[in-house]
Structure 1
Amino acid sequence: MDFNKSQSHWDYMFNELGDPRTASLFLMNNPILLICIIGAYLYFVLHWGPKYMKSRQPYELKYVIISYNTIQILINLYLFGRLLYLWLDYNWICQPFDDSTSQPTMMMIQTCYMYFLNKIMDLVDTVFFVLRKKQSQVSFLHVWHHCIMVSFTWIGIKYLPNGHGTFYGLINSFVHVLLYLYYLLAAFGPKIQKYLWWKKYLTTMQLIQFGIVIVHELLTLAPNCNYPAWTTLFITPNGVVFTILFLNFYKQKYKTKTEKST
């Protein structure tokens, strides 16, 4: 194996192709540390954590979870506000990539980086499931969704930290405000949970989100759209997979309940 040639490929992939405006940011120089984070996450939630909790009582994390969900609501509200402010000056049909260092562009890059860090923070959800011995909630859909979101967001910040693709962050941060609001209310216990009849509509909202994102991303394939069309190869198939998985989850959880009640 030619080490120099491998090093050359590595430098080309993560230095030359990468956006220089994000190269110095934490975790953004290369994917090694991020891979370690995802690997540690998978090892804990799928192996070590369940094994550790097997002979232990579930941890009482009510107030930790309430605090966590409150922080998540505030962060996602902030991200949504910033992204909406920036998107008001964007072309909603096709927003080209901007390689300048103008104030709005740098603000978008900064906001997208904060969004990426928040996707890492989202991994804590699964840790809570494990520590509360709710391993059934550590589903393939849940784990896959978290890992893909962290990975794809890193790719976006590394190579295209502004432009058309940032639309997903806009709609996703709004959806997460409502998701974490539900989680916050549910954490208060049965007295509040009986009013959360609208839970199933959160899944419907996520399905609508994926549909909107898929259609919006396909607009980059238009001949007059000056935005890298290769992003469609990442976002669109993943959106389709998410749609199928979430739709299957919806049918299993809510259709089954309806059939049992009739």
Structure 2
Amino acid sequence: MAHLVEKVMDSYNDIFINQRDPRVDGWLFMDSPWPTFFLCISYVLLVKVIGPRCMKDRPPFDLRRLLVFYNAAQVVFSTWLFYEMAHASWWYYFSKFTEFLDTIFFVLHKKNEHISMLHVIHHGCMPMSVWFGVKFTAGGHSTFFGLVNTFVHIVMYVYYMMAAMGPKYRRYIWWKKYLTNFQMIQFILIFSHAFQLCFTECHYPRAFMWWIGGHAVMFFFLFSEFYIKAYLRGSAKLYMNGTSISSKANGHTNGHIKHANGHANGKANGVANGYSNGHANGHANGTIHYRGSSTKETNGHIPQTEDTSINARVRRLVCMSVDTSLE
């Protein structure tokens, strides 16, 4: 047993001491992988267990001004990282911790259902993944991944910031669907760049080729699933970075609910007695009247129903022009 422990320790020291990039010695969290690992685990526990329990009996926080400031700061930070990527590998690693706030704002706004598996996987594993890159291969081939990702984040946080600024800015973020396309393209670029080493040699560790390329492939398929549900099927409410957008929306907003198009009781003013999400045939004080014949208690919410009648189709066309508001 003692021999086995000694062998494990020798392997650990060989990997994390002998194989390290000595330029990062003394940098915060770079001497050992454990601080980063425990911060990632703490993040998952905070947003999935501790945070929701603490917020259970509390009202949601009003975070609009904080979210505008936060996203503006992320735009500036990502722009600086993009410009200085060759010299800022540690700061790129650090930025993965600041992005934990994306999910924490969800918790504070009591939108726990928006914390999807994609969201938690993405934010939960990135710091640990980037730690290995900074520890062993800072600069060179590895910087392409960070360079592309920071450029995408510049665009992404501009979108989030404008979404958090209120309804009057909605007209300027019509391109939310293309933001998802942009994110998917980045993963194609990253794994294509990584896997080129299968056909050429530049003395870059093959393990990191598979590490970076594998992450890009995984996230490409996760984002593809999101895209299919949000735009091709158009049937699910999907969420990213703090805001929800209803049916056939991107889900790329930050910190507020957008009340999607919908009408109740045949009204054309876009206001329902409750939250409307999609299209229902009627609503009255938490009770839905289905085509004047039967009722169903709904606790103040209109469920999504599929109505293919001519009246329903006309109503959908009218609803599409209704302005929406923040919660």
Q: Determine whether 1:233 maps to 2:210.
A: yes
Give the paired residue count. Answer: 237
Structure 2 counterpart of 1:124: 101
Structure 2 counterpart of 1:182: 159
**What is the one-letter code of the residue matched to 1:221?**
C
Q: 1:38 aligns with which of 34, 37, 40?
A: 40
Structure 1 counterpart of 2:81: 79
Q: Determine whether 1:168 maps to 2:145.
A: yes
More helix by share: 1
Structure 2 counterpart of 1:141: 118
Structure 2 counterpart of 1:10: 12
SS of the residue 1:126 aligns to: helix
Structure 1 counterpart of 2:281: none
For residues 204-226 of structure 1, the C-alpha deviation after alignment (integer angstroms, 9 at most, x for no partner) is 00000001111111112223433
Question: Shift of the alpha carbon at 1:62?
Answer: 1.3
Q: How does 1:150-229 map to 2 (within 5 A)?
A: 150-229=127-206
Structure 2 counterpart of 1:48: 50
CA contact (8 A) 2:195 2:210 kept: no
Cα RMSD for the two superposed structures = 1.8
CA contact (8 A) 1:220 1:228 kept: no
Which has the higher mean CA deviation after the structures are superposed, 24-33 or 185-194? 185-194
Greater RCO, CA 8 A, separation 6+: 1
SS of the residue 1:230 aligns to: helix
The whole-number CA distance in structure 1 between the counterparts of 2:228 and 2:54 is: 33
SS of the residue 2:30 aligns to: coil
Question: Shift of the alpha carbon at 1:258?
Answer: 5.3
**What is the one-letter code of the residue matched to 2:11?**
H
- Kindly, what percent of the aligned residue pairs are identical? 35
Structure 2 counterpart of 1:245: 222
The whole-number CA distance in structure 2 between the counterparts of 1:135 and 1:173 is: 27
Q: How does 1:13-32 map to 2 (within 5 A)?
A: 13-32=15-34
Which has the higher mean CA deviation after the structures are superposed, 8-17 or 40-49? 8-17
More strand by share: 2
Q: Which has the larger radius of gyration?
A: 2
**What is the one-letter code of the residue matched to 1:216?**
H
Long gaps (5+) in structure 1: 84-107
Taking structure 1 as reference, are residues 38 and 224 closer, same or farther at Cα in structure 2, changes over 3 Å only?
Answer: closer
